[in-house]
Structures are given as structure tokens and as C-alpha cells.
Structure 1
Amino acid sequence: MYARYSETYFSLFTIFTLLFLAGCTSEKTENPHNTWTHYGGSPGQSRYFEASQITKENVGELEVAWVYPTGEDFNFFSPIVADSTMYVLGKNSSLIALNARTGEEIWIHANLKGITRRGINYWESEDKKDKRLIFTLNSSLQAIDATTGKSIMDFGTDGYVDLRADLGRDPSTIVRIQSMMPGVLYEDLLILGSSTGETYFSPPGHIRAYNVVTGALEWTFHTIPQPGEFGYDTWPKDAYKYVGGTNAWSEISVDAERGIAFLPLGSPTYDYYGADRLGSNLFANSLVALDARTGERLWHFQTIHHDLWDYDLASAPQLITVQRDGKSIDAVSIATKHGFVFVFDRVTGEPVFPIEEKPFPPSNMPGEQAWPTQPISSLPDFTRHEVNLENLNPYFPDSIKQAWVKRLDSTKSQLYLPPSDQYEIVAMPGALGGVNFGNTASNPSKGIMYIMTQEYASTYRLNKVEPPKEDLSQNDVERVKNLYSSTCIACHGQNMEGGAGPSLLNIGHHMPYDDFKEIVTNGRGQMPGLVHVDEESLKALFKFLGGEPVSNPFRRGNTEETIPEGPVVASGGAPIKPDAQRGAPMRTYPEGTEHPDVQYTTDYGLDWPALIDPPWSSVIAYDLNEGTIKWRRPVGIDSLYAKGDPSKGAPQGTQRKGLVVTSTGLVFATAKGAKLYAFDQETGETLWETTMNHESNAQPSMYTLNGKQYLVVNANSNFFRGTYDQSKKPGALPRGYVVYALPEK
């Protein structure tokens, strides 16, 4: 039964390859856990750091060592540190090199508008003479000399690589492909995912590896298999020509010793209605192990067959060693949006804990065929899977509670209930539930995984898609009204004239669509990034605000270039040539392909972040030696929902937050309300807690310099409510990168 549904098969060649990889070790002997040159600390994305200075006994003495103010909201960027230099984003989207001991500016490469906001990659040659920063910028891949801060012009073609190419689609039709994450380095390769968007006809999320010196494309793994490739028969014929997504938009992990890359892959498009992609849809929603040097698939496991709930694999696979039945197993674990943990032998892909295929309800939508079973882990799940009268939020006013009591009479709520146009479903968790990017870490040698999770439901009801029109259709008008009322009205006002946020009246007449999309997707100032708003809704909203949503995938972003104060050495990155072949996004099925006559969509249903009773947000320790939850601690503060009681956690308290795990037994965690915690790894006891002056929505980092240990947090956002707003108090620190250390003795 297991073999049938996991679809994990091995050729003799693959088995020999696995055995060879199992015995290989890298020639490099450096400890990957005492530096922070990668987004997640190391290629394994464990966020684990080995140092001895900050301990359980003295963590309460931490104080601010220095702050680098940005003056702007660059709230998602996660700093990396190489040798004595820290690299950050700030000052009009500039990459900035800082002295990691003092925060003094070394160089500034200004005006990199459109750069991937969550982080960059640092690479150096074995002789350390070539040091470079690799990053994506407006759907291009570029490199900067890490020492001088200047663009490397012999990288790619004239200093850049066009990421829209080599995807099997017309590059001129690809509007969105640049990943929100920096990718991961292995030897001389950058292994890169993508952010494809979530609409019908999105581009495919194939995984690509580029040479960090030349920019050459070294290999591609087709996440949507093509004819003759393994998994092609799990899709309709020619589906690879029009299905999109199935992408690694989050954190790829690499076992550097064995040379294995672990891909957490997302949902295929369209997310909630799959009549044009009948089948189990490999490699969507799968953990895939690849030979990092060649891109060859070694093994995979699909966590959801034929996904209809947007349950992407969104967090980093954790590479850990577990002790089971007297054996030491090098394993990889993955936590999911829908609250399960799966653990596999890192080399063979065999489950460490049993997985059972269980039946779930069919779909009642025309043309749809929900997969009859789904894999359920035997490990304890960490989210709830139903909203009912017993677990409704007790803090609701009586009017809201009674409205929901009535609403639940006509809605349905259970795990894996397919969306319908006949009734509303309440998915628990929803699109932003469970774990997300940055929400997993581990103590690799002890078999303990740490998870940040939130209980967040989505309400779904499918609606028929109207044929595309040049002007706003009634369907678009309704879509915009729903989007605005659910996400915008509280800040921008009933009539879009402003309030807590600025006026939006006629904003489309004076703002380019790309800038509008960047703000909505990534956030700015007090506004959070709405990463789950699809491209069609963005364009409809922009039209509604008076604009014409024409996008330039190679937007330079420096038409209003300003040079910040400081040691500026360059501006704008490698000059990108004008895109003479820009076309319209793909809107119809390719000629000759069979497809349904009707399409259906739904919004993300994120109106109720605290629909059920608390705790809403928690940090959890999983002991994967025993297969048990070791401890769980609510985190975050939100007075609107928890009435000032921090023990209840906070809605969205762990979304876009992060962890650092130390060899001295500490777990550092950020949470909503500008909270920063230090927990005891063994017990979950809070050993230190502080409230920063600004919110953090990036991954914290850690480094040592001259024997001194530092924790750096990007505290750059203003997501505050009421009495918890620290930013205007006397002596408040400016928004920026805040570095903590023990006081000098």
C-alpha cells in the first residue's frame, strides 16, 4: 500500500548512486555551524549555531551592542556575515557592507530596486581571492564583488542572467518568476527556486542550478514532468504546457557532505480547482531529494496528492540524526502547513515513522476528481483540523459569535474537504496556517526539531471565472470589492481616502504597476506583505485604482534614482537591456490540448485570523527520537484578540518570524508584538524576553567575532496595536538591524 502511493521507486543505477553518496564526504572540513554565511545559517537551513559564550545562565544579560538604522522599511531581509563583514539591505534598496563589530559602513551598492528582499548568497573560492554576493533582481540573476561592492560584469551575459529563459515557455509571457528566497549554494552552484504566482497558466516552478562564477545554467529539474520523464503519467497529457507552480518558493536544504539537495515543493496551479490537472500531480507538494551536482532525482515523497487546498511545503527540510530502535539514522524531516511532520531516511527515502494512506471525501465540482486518499503521519499533528461550535474564539463579541454559530450551520469544516461552489468550507488550517518559511529549525545531532506554527483558518467558496476582458468585468469588480473589504479597508478607509494608511484614490495614475505589486506583495511601513494575493486580483485592483497593469519583467527600478549618504561605490546593478519582446501573460490553453470548458477560483479567505480559541501561535519542540512533542509555548502579543494576555499567543504571531538554535541549549525566537524570546531547549522555559522597538519579519542571525557572540535581528517594521507600540516611546531605537551581545566585563 505504501509503495503504491508514495511512488518512490529505484532503478539499480539510482541505488548505486545513493550508496555512493552515502559514503562520500566533502573535502571541506569547515564547521558549517559556526558561521552565518547562508540564509538559514548553513546549507542545511538548520539555523543552528555553535558557540559557547551565550548560555542559559547569562542569556538574561543580553543588551544592545549596536544598531544600524535603515530609515526605511526593509523588513524581510535576513543578514548574513562573512569574516568580519555583515551584509544588509537598506537605504533605497541598497546592498550595504557593514563592519560586523561596530556597524560602520564599508561600502554601499545603491538602488537595487527589485532585489529579492529576503536574503542573498555569499560565495568564496577555495583560495578566498574571489568573494561574491549572488542575488536575484527583477527576474535576473546577478553578482556583486563582496569586497568592492561593484557588479561583476563577466557574470552571465553583460552581468546578468535572464531567469525567464529556459522554462519551456515564451519568456515574454512570464511576468513573475523571481524567487522570494535567495536559493542555496552547493560548491560552485546556486540551486534556485522561483515564485511563479498562483493563477491559471502560471509558469512552471522548475528547479535550476547556475554556476556562481560564469552564470551558466548547469542543470534543470522539471517539477512538472515532461514526456518520457518519471511522473509524467501522473498528469493529463501535455499538462506541462499550461500548468504552473509546483515550485520551491521557500527554503531548499542541502546535505553538503553527501551532495543531496532537498526540495520542499509547492502546489500546482490553479490551487483550488484541478479539473485541468487530474491525477496525483508529481512532484507537487513533494519532498524531493536530488543529486546536487547533476539534478538527478534520487527519491521523493508526496505529502498531498492532487492538492486542492494550497498546502505548499513552505518550510526548510531539517537534516537531523535520530536514534530509533538502537540505530542512528541520518534523517530529513519536513513540517507542513496542515500540521503534520514526516521523517525519512536521508539517503533512501524510507519513512522513519509509519505513514498511512487514509480515505477522504470526493469533490462535487464538475470535472474535478479529488484524490481518494491522503498520507497521514503517525507522529502527533500540531494544528487543529476543524472549526466547530466548541472551539470558536471565546473572545468574540456576542454578535460575532452568534453570526458564526448560524454560519456554521451551512458551512463544512474538516481536513481535506474539497472546495465547492455549492457551499462554503472552512479549512483548518488555511492558506497561512501551520508552518511557513523560516518556521523550522533543529539541533541536528540531537534529533530535536523546533517549529513555529499558527492556527489560522481560511474560508473558501468557488466561483466561476468569467472570460477575460480588456476592461474590468463584473467578476473582477466583485473580486476587488472582496479583496479591499477584507484586507485594505481598515487602514485605507471606506472610500479609499485614507486613514491609518494613505489615500489610494487614483494611485494607478502615478504609480507603475510593478511598484504597486511590490508594495502589496512585500509590504511597506506598517503594511504587511500580502504574499497570497494572486496576479489577477492584483491587476484588477490596480485597474480599479485607475492604473493600467502593464508589467516590465526587466524593470530597472532606478528611474527615480537617489544616491544615499555614505560610501557609495555603485548604483543600479548590472545594466539590463530593454526588453523588446515583452508580451502578454499566457491566458488560454495551448492549441490542441484537452481542457475543461469552465474555470473556478476563490480568494484566500483570510478574514478571520483568530476564528478558533487560543493558543493561536506557538513554538513547539519535537523529539524525533521518541516521536513526541517535547513542549509547546504560546508566543506573541495581540491585545485585540487576547485581551492583553500574552499566554494566549497572537494571531499570525509566527508568520514571517524566525528561530536560532544554539549549542548551549537555547532557542531564540521572534514573534508578533516585537517580541524576542530565549527558550530552554529542553524544557521550553522562557529564560529571556524583550520587546523590541519595531517588529521583526525576517530571520535572525548569529555570529562570533574575536571570541564575542552576537545575535542580529532585523527590527524594521511597524506592526503594532495600542499599548504595545514601542516605537514612539522615549529613547526608542530607530528601525534597523539590532545587534545583541553580552556586556563587556
Structure 2
Amino acid sequence: MKVIFSAKPPQYASPFNYGWFFFILFLFWSGSCSQKKRDSYSNWGVYKADNESTSYSHLDQINKENVSKLALAWIFEPNDSITGDRPQNSESNPIIIDDVLYTTSARGRLFAVDAATGELKWSFDPFNGERGGGVKRGVTYWEDGSDQRILFTGGDKLFAIDASTGMPVPSFGNEGKVDLNEGMRGDPDKISVIPTSPGIIFEDLLILGTEVSELYGAEPGHVRAYNVRSGELVWTFHTIPMPGQVGHDSWPKDAWKYSGGANSWGGFSLDASRGMVFFATGSPAYDYYGANRKGKNLFGNSVVAVNARTGAYIWHFQTVHHDLWDYDLPAPPNLVTVEHEGKKMDAVAQTSKVGFLYVLNRETGKSLFPIEERPVPSSDIPGEETWPTQPFPTKPAPYTRQFLDEKDLANYSPSSRDSLVKLFRSLRYEGIFTPPSIQGTLQFPGSRGGSSWGGGAFDPSTGLFYVRSNDSPEIMRMKKVEPENAITNLSVYKQGESIYSTYCISCHGRDKNGDEQGNPSLVGLKGRISEEDVLAKIKQGGGKMPSFSSVITDKAKEEAILAFLFENESSGSPQEEQSLLEEINTNQGASTEIQNTDSLNRYLNLTAYGYFRDPEGRPGIKPPWGKLHAIDLNTGDFAWSVPLGNNRDLQTGSEETGERGSAGPMVTAGGLVFIAGTRDNQLRAFDKDTGEKRWEIKLPGFANANPSTYEVNGKQYIVLSVGGNSKNTAGSVMAFSLPD
């Protein structure tokens, strides 16, 4: 426990008083130093390891020489699934404070576990017995003496939980919770903002981002700071700038009233000594068509630095201007120190979906390597105005492929090859940044290309940066959606089918069977899940699925989509006045004037997140489809690259195929890089100097999470959230150590 010495020195002098004072001061100093060392070396006290988001550990008990002996030490099973649940995945990166591990389950419950044994200490349910769910990548710890708290979100609520007892802290907000819908632009009763990644602590502030809808009418992606003691909102940074704020002129003048997105959903990094907090943002909404948001659209797709105490703007760097590809910056910036032009320099390294690694001066935001603004293709959709150029870093080289031609297409069989060539030739494709089209556009890298929320890991002893890559092309096919094309005189079931065909078919398929990439089957919902739970999932989102609260805006739409999903073809009568293809602005509390501002013709990407595949559902390009890279940030050169993961069914030679994944790596002083998140359900350890695989273990489920490491009672552990299977749908937390 950290000791906070707050007494003032005596106002009068005596040898006796001074002796005790200096003795206590010595104890405080030595205790503080030992705590600081323990925090840095033994604990994993912050999401992605530390304030700098390095995903690095100084522990070296587990190393290259002995990692082959690594074995399961303990397993914790939350056992909180509901009857009828399919296997669930938790993306939580556990934190460890002294000898206690804190994590969340796939259903969003909070657990405190003995870090040496895996025994449950306490649990907390933010949903009061309801289904819950939604992505949670971790929790945040704060302490002041004996006041120790876990800050985490459940749905659209922020909770402060006593770290010792698991009980809400009554002095925080309303009996331990704060409504995150309050303080946004829209009516708190009609919106829902749900963070997916944990916030970060600066002094007595919790700095927090949010997940918002990516559809028309989305909320703006405000970054906010809350007083960790009281729950009071202290400052707000507007990622869609208001009049008079930096970046306002990069939008139409009234866009701040109706535009949404540009949110920081991947997490934060902190330079406490400079009082600077760093975050990266996603694209403005709607992702694929921006006629109502002409301009560069700051601070969408930007690395941003603000004053951690006040939220005041310091600098930004925009990686994509006027995004039309859903090219979010999905992970927190890594704070690094590099050797540049003969001197040490503090910098920021930002991963991306396009496969560029941006290395920026930490104080100014200027790139350490040259960046060129290059012309890119123009849109052919009426009303759209693509930005004419995009930034291309000259170093490091892209860590994912950024161009395809016919020789890159897969060749499983002559008929498969012919179908892929035919599809490829039918699509618009002019390289990276080819805009969406009605014809259909091949997007490469796809919106799940490059790297995702797992981000990178940085080794300060070598300057090497580790990141996974995904080669994952997609198809974008736009369709105009207008009120005059509203479907009327249809049964409720048919209206639901129309909603499904517009918004759901690209992930769950025309037959509702889903796929193996985390898009579950929706066949046979009746009897295994309630209509209320399905509706809650649609409105709140969860896993890869965004919230569709901006689509299902009234009772008629609710009844329609439920009738279709639950195969109730006899449900209801025609809804004469209901347009199910017309999206409704979620700013229902806004004035008519503001709503009318956002009334331009709208286009939807009907194949959003649709993979480029052959008729059998196999990847449409040759492997490798996923790699792990080591990049020297001192020089911008690659140290090594190796395939990550393997699909044995599609492997044709000795080299592994690699697999697409979202989870990120962890690097240790023991000379190892640990990473999971591949569909072959392996946890692997690589030699951090050479990329040689040193160890792997088959897990009982898909581990779509970043690993953590810590030391308790002189023993180092590697710990990981692991997804469920048919026997244990809730999943588990698994810890590995060397044998005694």
C-alpha cells in the first residue's frame, strides 16, 4: 500500500521533533521509492502496462532460455454466462496491483482475483443481473492512501468501486456511478455512449473517451475528464470543434451541431511530467459518405495532445483527411524515447489501419521522418468531395501490404481463381484511398487492415517497436437512400427484412448464418435468447458490432427487426407512414433547424466490413494474411517480420499462412514477445531480437486480448483473457508460470 505523507513540518524547532520528523521522512521516502519500483517492475498497474502504453515489462524471470518450460499455473472462470449463450470473448487486459488481479468478463462483470492462486476475492455486476455485455478492454486503478478505487464502465455508466471490498463508493457520482450520456450533445435519455477502452489517471482526474455510433446522427466523440473522488465532470475536449476552437474551419460552419464520431475509443497515454495526455481518434460519421461534412474534418483520424489538467489543445497530427474508409486510429499512442539525429528525443508512435507507423515529436507533433502529401483518387458519388491528397510517411515503410494486382489473388482451384479475377475486375480499384463507389470498390488495406486496438509494444532498451499486421481487403458498395424510396404497405416482418438487408447482411449473411470471424449465427434465436436481450444488443452494440440505436429509433422499427430475427412472418400489419430505409438523426432533442441542416441525400455502404473472398469463403488474396514485425524506431528500418498464426487447412507449403487478428503484443526484459489473438487459439512467445518462435500453447478458446505479466512472491506470471467454448461459454483468465 502506498503511504502518503501529508503532515506539515513543525513550525518550531527542537532536536527531538526534528529527529522524529526526519526519521518519518526517511520512511516515507524509502517506502515511496520501493513502491515506485514495485509498481514498475512487479505490477501491471495500467492498461497496456504503464502510462506510456508501452506494453513492456522489466521482468526477466521468464526468458528465452526457460520459456519452453512455461506451464499453466492457475485458471479463473467467471461462470457468469446465461443459458443459451454462445461462446463469449473478453478483450480485457488484466491489471495487477500488488497481489490482486482486476479484470472484466465478456459480459462486463468486474472481478478481483488472487494473483498468485486465481481464487475469487469479490465481484461486482454493473448490470444488476441483466444480460449486459459489450466490449471492455480493461479497468483503471487509483489510490490515495487507504482510499483505493477501481474505475470502470458498464454500459453507459462510469463506476467507482472500492478495490478492497468490491462495493460502490457512495461519494462518487450518484451512489457510485455517473451517467456518461450527460454532458454530451444529445438528450441523455435518447442517446447511449459506451466506452470500450479504460481511461487514464492524471492526479485526481480520470480521462475517458467513448464509443459512439458510426452511422448518420451519431454523437460527437468528446474526450472528458472526471474528478476521481466526486465523479464531477471537470473538462471536455470537443473532437468536433465548436466555433472559436482550433479546427472549426475544417468543417461546414454548423457541423458541430449535427456531425458525430471522431471519437477516441482506443485508450490514452500520459506524460505526467509534462502534464500532457495523448489520444488517437476514429473517423467522423458517417464513415463512408461525407457530403454533409466537407473539409478535412479535424480532429477525426488524428493523434491529439492536450493539457491533462485542463483539456486545452496543444497539438495534433491528422493521418487521414476527410475519411471515407473507416480508417480509425484504433489504439493509444505509444510514448517512446528514440535516438534521432544523434540525440535522445521523446516521441509518440502511432499505429494505424492503413499500415503506416507515424513517429512524432512528443512536444510539437512534428514527424521525425519526412511525410509527403500525395494525390489520391476522387469520388464519383454525387455530392461527395474527397480531399485531394493524403499523408504518406517515407519511414518506416508500411507494415502491411497497400497495393494488389491480379498476381496477388489466391489460387485454390481454377474455378476459385476465375471467380476472384472476375470480381476483382468488376470493382473500382486505384490503390490505397480509392473512395467508395456505387460500382463497388476494392478497399485495401480494409477497415480491419493494418493493426487494430491491440496496438504496439515498445522496448526502451533497444528502441524496437513490435506490431502485428493484417492483410485484409474488403468490398465497399454504396447505395443511395432517400425518403421517397420508403418501403410502405409491407408487413412488419418484411420491413424487418429490409432493415436487416440494409444494416446486418454484410456481417451475418443473407441466410443469417454468420461466419467464423466473430459474426455469430442469428438462426434459431427463438428459445435461446429473449427479444429484450436481442433488442438491447442491437441498441448497445457489443464485440465487433456497433450500436444501431440511431436506426432502431421507435417502437415500429423494434417490432419489425424482432419479427424478422425471430421468424414471426405473421407479425403485424402494414405501417403506411413508416420509412425503414430513412435514417433518423439521434439528436432528437435538437431543434428542427439543426436537424434540417443534416438532411442531404444519404448513401450507405451495403457491404461494410465485407471481406474479399472466393465463393467458398476463403481469403481472396495469397498469404501471409497476418504478420508480426519488429521496427527500429531509431532508424525507421525493419529488424524482422514473421507470419503470425496459421490456418492448417489452407497451408500449402512449410511457411505458416498468418492470420488476421486484433490483439496486440507484449515485450519483456526476458527477451520475449508474447501475443495471442489468432483463430488457431495459440498463445505464442517470440525471440524479440530475431523473431524466432520460442514457445506456443493451445488455448481452450479464442484469446482476443492483450497479455499482461507480473510478479507475486518471487514468481513471474503471464496472464491472458481467453474466450469461451461449448463447455464453458463464459471463458476464463489463464495464468502461466515456470514450474517450482
Q: 2:645 maps to which residue?
A: 636
CA distance 1:147–1:709, shift in 2 (3 Å):
same
Selected match of 1:150 from 154, 160, 167: 167
Selected match of 2:91 from 50, 57, 76: 76
Q: How does 1:393-408 map to 2 (within 5 A)?
A: 393-395=410-412, 397-408=413-424
For residues 305-333 of structure 1, the C-alpha deviation after alignment (integer angstroms, 9 at most, x for no partner) is 11111100012211111112211111101
Task: Work out the CA distance in 2 between the residues paired with 1:195 and 1:91.
Answer: 17
Q: 2:65 maps to which residue?
A: 57
Report SS of the residue matched to 2:500. Answer: helix
Q: 2:350 maps to which residue?
A: 334
For residues 687-729 of structure 1, the C-alpha deviation after alignment (integer angstroms, 9 at most, x for no partner) is 11121122201221111012210001112234xxxxxxxx88x
Q: How does 1:203-222 map to 2 (within 5 A)?
A: 203-222=219-238
1:503 and 2:562 equivalent? no
Contact 1:92 1:110 in 2 (8 A): no
How far did residue 476 of structure 1 move? Answer: 6.9
CA distance 1:306–1:443, shift in 2 (3 Å):
same
Q: 1:253 maps to which residue?
A: 269
Report SS of the residue matched to 1:240. Answer: helix
Task: Work out the CA distance in 1 between the residues paired with 2:230 and 2:321.
Answer: 38
Structure 2 unmatched ranges of 5 or more: 1-31, 82-87, 567-583, 614-618
Contact 2:89 2:702 in 1 (8 A): no
Report SS of the residue matched to 1:591. Answer: helix
Task: Work out the CA distance in 2 between the residues paired with 1:198 and 1:499.
Answer: 21
How far did residue 475 of structure 1 move? Answer: 8.8
1:481 and 2:489 equivalent? no
Contact 2:280 2:330 in 1 (8 A): yes
CA distance 1:677–1:275, shift in 2 (3 Å):
same
Task: Work out the CA distance in 2 between the residues paired with 1:486 and 1:419.
Answer: 15
1:606 and 2:610 equivalent? yes
CA distance 1:489–1:269, shift in 2 (3 Å):
closer
Q: 1:43 maps to which residue?
A: 51
1:138 and 2:155 equivalent? yes
Contact 2:103 2:139 in 1 (8 A): no
Q: 1:597 maps to which residue?
A: 600
Task: Work out the CA distance in 2 between the residues paired with 1:681 and 1:76.
Answer: 24
How far did residue 448 of structure 1 move? Answer: 1.6
Q: 2:675 maps to which residue?
A: 669
Task: Work out the CA distance in 1 between the residues paired with 2:520 and 2:450.
Answer: 32
Q: 2:734 maps to which residue?
A: 738
Selected match of 1:530 from 539, 544, 554: 544
How far did residue 146 of structure 1 move? Answer: 0.5
CA distance 1:639–1:534, shift in 2 (3 Å):
farther
Q: 2:371 maps to which residue?
A: 355
Task: Work out the CA distance in 2 between the residues paired with 1:485 and 1:116.
Answer: 21
How far did residue 121 of structure 1 move? Answer: 3.0
Please tell me the residue identity of whatever aligns with 1:741: S
Q: 1:686 maps to which residue?
A: 693
1:389 and 2:416 equivalent? no
Task: Work out the CA distance in 2 between the residues paired with 1:47 and 1:195.
Answer: 23
Task: Work out the CA distance in 1 between the residues paired with 2:160 and 2:124.
Answer: 12
CA distance 1:384–1:548, shift in 2 (3 Å):
closer
1:706 and 2:713 equivalent? yes
Task: Work out the CA distance in 1 between the residues paired with 2:153 and 2:388.
Answer: 40
Q: 1:272 maps to which residue?
A: 288
Selected match of 1:114 from 128, 132, 144: 132
How far did residue 336 of structure 1 move? Answer: 0.9
Q: 1:552 maps to which residue?
A: none
CA distance 1:154–1:645, shift in 2 (3 Å):
farther
How far did residue 365 of structure 1 move? Answer: 1.6
Structure 1 unmatched ranges of 5 or more: 1-26, 523-528, 550-582, 719-726
Contact 1:505 1:545 in 2 (8 A): no
How far did residue 389 of structure 1 move? Answer: 1.1
Contact 1:637 1:645 in 2 (8 A): no
Report SS of the residue matched to 1:738. Answer: strand
How far did residue 153 of structure 1 move? Answer: 1.4
CA distance 1:638–1:384, shift in 2 (3 Å):
same
How far did residue 54 of structure 1 move? Answer: 1.0
TM-score by length of 1: 0.82
Selected match of 1:345 from 354, 357, 361: 361
1:619 and 2:628 equivalent? yes
Report SS of the residue matched to 2:610. Answer: coil
CA distance 1:191–1:115, shift in 2 (3 Å):
farther
Contact 2:508 2:521 in 1 (8 A): no
Task: Work out the CA distance in 2 between the residues paired with 1:70 and 1:490.
Answer: 34
Task: Work out the CA distance in 1 between the residues paired with 2:140 and 2:185.
Answer: 29
Q: 2:722 maps to which residue?
A: 715
How far did residue 56 of structure 1 move? Answer: 1.0
Please tell me the residue identity of whatever aligns with 2:57: F
Task: Work out the CA distance in 1 between the residues paired with 2:520 and 2:246.
Answer: 54
Contact 1:620 1:632 in 2 (8 A): yes
CA distance 1:339–1:532, shift in 2 (3 Å):
farther
How far did residue 63 of structure 1 move? Answer: 0.7
Task: Work out the CA distance in 1 between the residues paired with 2:632 and 2:144.
Answer: 37
Q: 2:586 maps to which residue?
A: 585
Among all aligned residue pairs of Structure 1 and Structure 2, give the percentage whose two residues are the same amino acid.
36
1:94 and 2:101 equivalent? no
Report SS of the residue matched to 2:36. Answer: coil
Q: 1:516 maps to which residue?
A: 537
**Greater displacement, 286-295 / 472-481:** 472-481
Contact 1:272 1:310 in 2 (8 A): yes
Please tell me the residue identity of whatever aligns with 2:507: T
Task: Work out the CA distance in 2 between the residues paired with 1:381 and 1:91.
Answer: 33
Task: Work out the CA distance in 1 between the residues paired with 2:545 and 2:534.
Answer: 16
For residues 564-595 of structure 1, the C-alpha deviation after alignment (integer angstroms, 9 at most, x for no partner) is xxxxxxxxxxxxxxxxxxx9933799516645
Task: Work out the CA distance in 2 between the residues paired with 1:330 and 1:636.
Answer: 33
Please tell me the residue identity of whatever aligns with 1:673: D
Q: How does 1:415-434 map to 2 (within 5 A)?
A: 415-421=432-438, 423-434=439-450
Task: Work out the CA distance in 1 between the residues paired with 2:229 and 2:52.
Answer: 22
Contact 1:456 1:616 in 2 (8 A): yes
Report SS of the residue matched to 2:656. Answer: helix
How far did residue 608 of structure 1 move? Answer: 3.1
How far did residue 394 of structure 1 move? Answer: 2.6
Report SS of the residue matched to 1:511. Answer: helix
How far did residue 387 of structure 1 move? Answer: 3.3
Task: Work out the CA distance in 2 between the residues paired with 1:92 and 1:168.
Answer: 28
For residues 194-220 of structure 1, the C-alpha deviation after alignment (integer angstroms, 9 at most, x for no partner) is 111111010000100111111011111
TM-score by length of 2: 0.82
How far did residue 530 of structure 1 move? Answer: 3.0
Q: 1:123 maps to which residue?
A: 141
How far did residue 486 of structure 1 move? Answer: 4.4
How far did residue 407 of structure 1 move? Answer: 2.0
Report SS of the residue matched to 1:40. Answer: coil
For residues 247-278 of structure 1, the C-alpha deviation after alignment (integer angstroms, 9 at most, x for no partner) is 00112111223221111111001111100000
Task: Work out the CA distance in 2 between the residues paired with 1:474 and 1:219.
Answer: 46
Please tell me the residue identity of whatever aligns with 2:641: R
